[in-house]
């Protein structure tokens, strides 16, 4: 690669400075927000890809992508320019960048004392590199000793990314090692760098395969550095600051698009297994699942049909029902609906060469095209070869949506499970339609799953316009949160996977993917033993997505009742999730409305406590619930660090109060998941229900955990019918509460806005055992609030 060196100012306009670099390239510096700048380098004045699908600041991007020069959605503040002989400085009141000669950038931020402080700088030696005879690009920054790197979406190993090299190249990583396997399924080249006084985000808007080295590599000729390198495309990055790490994560979501607000039933237990749909009597097996849920009193809201329902022999063919296995699809879906369960069906974007409709699709030109011959590209897929659908072709989108509608939705399927969509097309020059402007697949591979899920979403919306859509996707890129819930792919059964899937989920959450979960019990490998299965379920019920899914090597099935001796413990854990559904649903609303992460590492709300940055297996569900999953065999106690806060923590079950900033050891019998609640919180709870039903959900409890002594805290409960768009017109219920504690009384003030009226008429308010202070609600001594 060739280093970019000497620059001159070419021109400035209202929102950017353009430099001429080495007489042939352009560096464009955009001022987008007071604390958000963008750096774009145009090779020989041209862009390798003139569109983006990840930047969605106000609304969704056009199908054909957002023009890279589009600055809509940004506030575009005033800025100042200062130029000296060998440097140029651009600044707002919050962020400042100095461009040095030869080319490297130095960033400063303004702190709370109104002083400029160093933030980060490029490596002064060879900061920007372009491949003179190819497509590769690279960017180097210096590493500071106190940098802590997080983010990168779905990655194996510890949450802290320092000292490692990662690759973004979407792969179907079946049976991956949750500690070490890389790359995995998703493409999110975003890092969150945390320091004691400031945090900043760095997002490379480049969709080609890339590498991020965060301290694994050293070179005697350069000071310590970090590196981003891509096989193709442009150097195009966004740098933005936040006082806290949380501010940076929320800013990244505002940059790439809001979280989909799915239906409430999507938070219930979802069953799944490859075994049922692979069986020759799949419809009977699926019916047995309904019966066994009822027989074992397991609450459940949905089931995910694995791809065996589309099989011919042992291969999978999208939009092809195997009527030998499932002779009456509409009767089957009706049985699930009668039991209160929804269905999601697995669909894949690649047609094997012997798919019944392959020639039809090929003749219509709906596949990605081979780079050297006039025909579809051919790639390995599901033990054979096939061709991938080109979702940059409007005709492909229409064909796909017709398939989703006629083969799934009209059959009674409620949602789509967009799977095996990594697009492992390794002919990098394979041609995509590009909505009329052809583009090589190497530039947009992760966009294909993004457009696939969008096509599925729009088909669902057209079919049921009054209902909020729910979709699942395994692969994707930054911005996929606009369309789907996701999960960590085909994990392998082990205690290590249970532990590091927690870190993987937190990494996704810090990277803007809030609605996440894992295949509980492990997807591949040996079946979990009874203890591991219980601990995995207990952990899984505290994630936004809760699905037990498996394809065990010994043909067994991970089911709640697979071990009769521990079925009561499994049932108890799932019942706990359903009891917490009002809290979880409020978190989903806040993720959508306020960009608040649902899963949170403990440091996200307690940055003042250095211990929370040490590697641990704990996490927060929302701001209030501290989950201490048991991830070691044989453990019947759990040592937990209680983050240092002013109010302390309560044991969820016993009501015992602990001060923060200390280690405690909690009992953790096999039947119990250790949970702690932040003092000052209130958890909205429901009674036991078999599945989500607005009509039957007729009780509500607000369990208060008051601070000791004096203090004030606030909270929210969101309610609606669970599936419509009514909230947009005020047809929802926002219950806000404020708790004022004194030495002798707990004063609770509750108010409500919105037109929706849930089935419950009154909310019971409860206090921890041993709490003796008077409870006063809206000025009256009572334990009930009537709306």
| Position 134 confidence tier, pLDDT thresholds 50, 70, 90 | confident
Judge whether 42 lies within some domain: yes
Q: Could you tell me the residue range of the domain that residue 729 belongs to?
A: 681-786
Spatial distance between the Cα atoms of 647 and 577, rounded to a whole number of angstroms: 26
746 and 658 fall within a common domain: no
Judge whether 316 lies within some domain: no
Judge whether 251 lies within some domain: yes
Spatial distance between the Cα atoms of 9 and 666, rounded to a whole number of angstroms: 63
16 and 119 fall within a common domain: yes
Task: Give the count of domains, the chain.
Answer: 3
Judge whether 748 lies within some domain: yes
pLDDT digits (tens, 9 = 90+) for 343-378: 999 999 999 999 999 999 999 999 999 999 999 999
First vs last Cα of the chain: how many Å apart? 67
123 and 232 fall within a common domain: yes
Spatial distance between the Cα atoms of 455 and 477, rounded to a whole number of angstroms: 16
**Residue 202 DSSP SS3:** strand
47 and 92 fall within a common domain: yes
Do 545 and 474 meet the contact criterion of CB atoms below 8 Å apart? no
Question: Cα–chain-centroid distance for residue 401?
Answer: 25
Residue whose tokens read 């208060």: 704
662 and 687 fall within a common domain: no
- Domain end marker among 628, 661, 678: 678
748 and 604 fall within a common domain: no
Q: What local confidence, expressed as pLDDT, does residue 597 receive?
A: 98
The values of phi and psi at residue 69, to 5°, are -85, -5
pLDDT digits (tens, 9 = 90+) for 84-130: 989 999 999 999 999 999 999 999 999 988 999 999 999 999 999 99
pLDDT digits (tens, 9 = 90+) for 147-198: 999 999 999 999 999 999 999 999 999 999 999 999 999 999 999 999 989 9
What is the percentage of the chain residues whose pLDDT exceeds 90? 97
Q: Residue 472's beta-bridge partner residues? A: 417, 485
Give the number of other CB atoms < 10 A from CB of residue 690. Answer: 18
Give the number of other CB atoms < 10 A from CB of residue 429. Answer: 13
Judge whether 741 lies within some domain: yes
- Domain end marker among 227, 256, 285: 256
Position 383 pLDDT exceeds 90: no
Give the number of other CB atoms < 10 A from CB of residue 407. Answer: 18
Spatial distance between the Cα atoms of 600 and 619, rounded to a whole number of angstroms: 6
pLDDT digits (tens, 9 = 90+) for 254-276: 999 999 999 999 999 999 999 99
Give the number of other CB atoms < 10 A from CB of residue 755. Answer: 12
Spatial distance between the Cα atoms of 415 and 343, rounded to a whole number of angstroms: 6
Q: Which has the minimum average pLDDT: 134-138, 292-296, 593-597, 733-737?
A: 134-138
667 and 770 fall within a common domain: no
38 and 22 fall within a common domain: yes
Judge whether 364 lies within some domain: no
Residue whose tokens read 């694995």: 306
pLDDT digits (tens, 9 = 90+) for 70-89: 999 999 999 999 999 899 99
C-alpha pair distances (Å), 32 with each of 72, 73, 108, 511, 603? 10, 9, 16, 21, 29
Spatial distance between the Cα atoms of 648 and 662, rounded to a whole number of angstroms: 10
The values of phi and psi at residue 155, to 5°, are -135, 150
Q: Residue 228's beta-bridge partner residues? A: 139, 212
Q: Residue 637's beta-bridge partner residues? A: 667
Buried b (16+ CB within 10 A) or exposed e, 101-126: ebbbbbbbbbeeeeeeeebbbbbbeb
Cα–Cα nearest to 305, from 458, 468, 456, 472: 472
648 and 695 fall within a common domain: no
Question: Cα–chain-centroid distance for residue 560?
Answer: 26
The values of phi and psi at residue 727, to 5°, are -60, -25
**Strand 165-168's sheet: what is its strand order?**
2-3, 128-130, 137-142, 225-230, 210-213, 165-168
Helix 329-338 × helix 282-295 angle, to 10°: 10
Do 535 and 648 meet the contact criterion of CB atoms below 8 Å apart? no
CATH of the domain at 629: 2.60.40.1180
| Position 140 confidence tier, pLDDT thresholds 50, 70, 90 | very high
C-alpha pair distances (Å), 247 with each of 96, 100, 117, 502, 590? 19, 29, 18, 22, 15
100 and 137 fall within a common domain: yes
171 and 152 fall within a common domain: yes
- Domain end marker among 634, 656, 678: 678
Name the strand (E) or helix (H) holding 510. helix 495-510
Judge whether 449 lies within some domain: no
Helix 530-540 × helix 567-579 angle, to 10°: 0
Judge whether 283 lies within some domain: no
pLDDT digits (tens, 9 = 90+) for 621-676: 999 999 999 999 999 999 999 999 999 999 999 999 999 999 999 999 999 999 99
CATH of the domain at 45: 2.60.40.1760
DSSP 734-765: EEEEEEEE-SSEEEEEEEEESS---S--EEEE
pLDDT digits (tens, 9 = 90+) for 483-509: 999 999 999 999 999 999 999 999 999
Q: What local confidence, expressed as pLDDT, does residue 40 receive?
A: 98
162 and 173 fall within a common domain: yes
Helix 447-463 × helix 394-403 angle, to 10°: 50
Position 309 pLDDT exceeds 90: yes
């Amino acid at each position: 690669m060739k280093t970019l060196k000497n620059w001159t100012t070419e021109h400035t306009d209202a929102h950017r400075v353009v430099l001429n670099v080495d007489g042939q390239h352009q560096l464009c510096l955009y001022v987008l927000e007071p604390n958000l700048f963008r750096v774009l380098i145009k090779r020989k004045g041209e862009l390798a890809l003139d569109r983006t699908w990840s930047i969605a600041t106000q609304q969704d991007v056009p199908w054909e992508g957002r023009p890279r020069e589009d600055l809509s959605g940004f506030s575009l503040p005033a800025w100042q320019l200062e130029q000296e002989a060998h440097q140029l400085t651009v600044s707002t009141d919050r962020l400042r960048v100095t461009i040095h000669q030869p080319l490297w950038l130095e960033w400063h931020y303004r702190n709370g004392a109104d002083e400029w402080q160093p933030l980060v700088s490029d490596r002064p030696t060879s900061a920007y590199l372009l491949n003179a005879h190819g497509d590769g690009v690279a960017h180097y920054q210096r590493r500071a000793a106190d940098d802590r790197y997080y983010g990168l979406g779905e990655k194996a190993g510890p949450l802290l990314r320092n000292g490692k090299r990662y690759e973004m190249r979407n792969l179907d990583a079946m049976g991956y090692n949750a500690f070490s396997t890389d790359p995995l399924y998703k493409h999110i080249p975003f890092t969150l760098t945390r320091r004691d006084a400031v945090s900043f985000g760095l997002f490379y808007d480049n969709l080609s395969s890339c590498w991020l080295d965060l301290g694994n590599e050293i070179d005697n000729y350069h000071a310590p550095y970090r590196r981003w390198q891509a096989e193709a495309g442009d150097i195009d990055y966004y740098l933005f600051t936040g006082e806290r790490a949380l501010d940076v994560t929320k800013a990244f979501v505002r940059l790439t698009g809001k979280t989909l607000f799915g239906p409430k039933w999507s938070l219930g237990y979802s069953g799944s297994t490859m075994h049922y749909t692979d069986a020759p009597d799949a419809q009977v097996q699926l019916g047995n699942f309904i019966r066994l849920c009822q027989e074992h009193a397991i609450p459940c809201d949905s089931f995910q049909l694995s791809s065996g329902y589309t099989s011919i022999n042992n291969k999978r063919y999208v939009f092809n029902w195997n009527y030998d296995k499932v002779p009456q699809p509409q009767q089957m879906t009706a049985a699930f609906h009668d039991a209160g369960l929804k269905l999601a069906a697995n669909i894949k974007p690649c047609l094997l060469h012997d798919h019944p409709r392959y020639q039809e699709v090929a003749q219509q030109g709906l596949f990605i095209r081979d780079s050297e011959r006039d025909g579809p590209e051919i790639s390995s897929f599901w033990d054979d070869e096939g061709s991938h659908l080109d979702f940059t072709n409007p005709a492909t989108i229409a064909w796909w949506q017709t398939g989703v509608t006629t083969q799934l939705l009209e059959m009674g399927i409620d949602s789509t499970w967009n799977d095996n969509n990594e697009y492992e097309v390794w002919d990098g020059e394979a041609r995509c339609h590009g909505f009329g402007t052809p583009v090589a697949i190497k530039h947009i591979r992760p966009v294909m799953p993004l457009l696939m899920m969008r096509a599925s979403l729009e088909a669902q919306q057209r079919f049921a316009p009054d209902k909020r859509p729910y979709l699942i996707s395994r692969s994707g890129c930054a911005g996929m949160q606009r369309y789907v819930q996701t999960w960590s792919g085909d994990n392998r059964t082990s205690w290590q996977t249970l532990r590091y899937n927690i870190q993987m989920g937190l990494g996704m959450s810090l990277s803007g993917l809030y609605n996440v979960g894992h295949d509980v019990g492990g997807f591949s490998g040996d079946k979990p033993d009874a203890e591991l299965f219980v601990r995995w379920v207990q952990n899984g019920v505290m994630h936004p997505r809760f699905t037990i899914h498996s394809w065990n090597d010994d043909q067994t099935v991970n089911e709640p009742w697979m071990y009769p001796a521990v079925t009561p413990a499994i049932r108890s854990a799932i019942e706990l999730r359903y009891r917490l559904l009002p809290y979880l649903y409020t978190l989903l609303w806040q993720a959508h409305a306020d960009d608040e992460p649902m899963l949170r590492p403990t440091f996200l709300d307690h940055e003042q406590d250095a211990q929370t940055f040490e590697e641990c297996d704990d996490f927060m569900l929302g701001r209030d619930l501290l989950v201490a999953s048991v991830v070691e065999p044989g453990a019947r106690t759990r040592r937990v660090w209680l983050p240092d806060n002013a109010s302390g923590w309560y044991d969820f079950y016993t009501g015992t109060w602990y001060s923060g900033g200390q280690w405690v050891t909690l009992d953790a019998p096999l039947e119990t998941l250790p949970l702690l609640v932040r003092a000052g919180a209130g958890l909205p709870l429901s009674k036991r229900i078999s599945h989500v039903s607005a009509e039957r959900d007729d009780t509500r409890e607000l369990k208060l955990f008051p601070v000791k002594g004096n203090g004030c805290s606030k909270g929210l409960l969101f309610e609606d019918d669970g599936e419509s768009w009514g909230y947009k017109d005020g047809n929802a219920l926002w219950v806000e509460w404020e708790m004022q504690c004194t030495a002798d009384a707990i004063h609770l003030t509750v108010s409500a806005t919105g037109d929706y009226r849930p089935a419950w008429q009154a909310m019971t308010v409860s206090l921890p055992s041993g709490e003796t202070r008077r409870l006063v609600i809206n000025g009256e001594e009572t334990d009930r609030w009537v709306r």
